[in-house]
Structure 1
Amino acid sequence: MDIELAQSELTATDILIDVREPDEFVIGHIQGVAHIPSGLLEFKMNASEALSARDLKILVYCKNGGRSSLAAKTLVEMGYLSVQAKAGGGDAWAAAGNRIAKISHPELG
C-alpha cells in the first residue's frame, strides 16, 4: 500500500479504531486513532453516544489484520453499516512509510 492510498483510506472514514492491546498501542499507532482494545469493543461502542450512529464509516486495524477482521465482523453484527478491516494492519501502514505516533509511557521506559 502506498502512502497516497493509505491517506485516502483514512480520509474516507469517520473513525479509525486500533483494536490492539494497550502495550502494543503505546509502542506505535496511527496518529489520531481511537484506541479500543478488541476485548472492550462492544462495551465501548455501545457506551459512547458519539459512536452510536450505525452509518459511521469505520476502519479498524490491528498489528497485521487478524484481530481487525474479527472486530469488523463484530461491528457489522452490532448493526454498523460501513465497516472495513485495514488489510495488513499497522505493519503494512508502517512498511509503506506512513507516520507512526508513539506514547512516552514511564513504565515502558
Structure 2
Amino acid sequence: MKNAHQMVEAAKAHIKEVSLDQAGDAIKQADFLIDVREADEFREGHIAGAINIPRGLLEFKLSADPALDDRGLNLVIYCKNSGRAALSAQAMKEMGYAHVLSISGGIDAWQAADKPVVKPSLPEFD
C-alpha cells in the first residue's frame, strides 16, 4: 500500500514540471493558471491570474465547466509545494488533458524566490 508521499513521487514520474525560471513564460503561454489549494489558502495569496479549483473538486469542475472542456488547453497548475499539483496533473493527464505543467516547488518556492503574489484585501467598514 502506498502512502501520500509515494503517490506524489509516482505522479511526478509521469507528469511535466516546470522550474521557477521557466514558470513565468509557461504562465504567459497558458490558457489557464490553476491553483489547486483550498480556498482559504488561495485568499492568503496566489499568483496573479490564477483561478482556484481545489484538488478535491478538480475532476468535477473540469467535467462541468465548458471553458475547461478542451483537452488541448495549455494549463499550468500549482499548490503549496507541488504535491497536490502533481496528483492533479496526473489526474488531468488521465482525463485526456495533453498540455499540463506543474510548477516545481509550488507557491512556497515562488514566494521564496521573491516572485509576486496577489493578496486580495477586504473592503473597509466604518
Residue 12 of structure 1, CA deviation:
2.2
- Is the CA contact 2:36–2:54 (under 8 Å) kept in the aligned structure 1? yes
2 CA distance for matches of 1:24 and 1:50? 24
2 CA distance for matches of 1:34 and 1:23? 13
Choose 60-69 or 93-102, whichever is displaced more: 93-102
Q: Which of 59, 80, 92 does residue 76 from structure 2 map onto?
A: 59
Q: Structure 2 regions of 5+ residues with no counterpart?
A: 1-19
Q: Which of 45, 49, 65 does residue 66 from structure 2 map onto?
A: 49
Q: Structure 1 regions of 5+ residues with no counterpart?
A: none
1:92 pairs with 2:106: no
- Is the CA contact 1:58–1:84 (under 8 Å) kept in the aligned structure 2? yes
2:33 match:
16
In percent, how many aligned pairs have the same letter? 50
Residue 14 of structure 1, CA deviation:
1.3
TM-score, length basis structure 2: 0.77
**What amino acid sits opposite 1:30 in the alignment?**
I
Residue 103 of structure 1, CA deviation:
2.1
Which structure has the larger Rg?
2
1 CA distance for matches of 2:61 and 2:122? 23
- Is the CA contact 2:23–2:103 (under 8 Å) kept in the aligned structure 1? no
TM-score, length basis structure 1: 0.88
1:26 match:
43
Aligned length: 104
Show the 5 A alignment for 1:67-106.
67-104=84-121
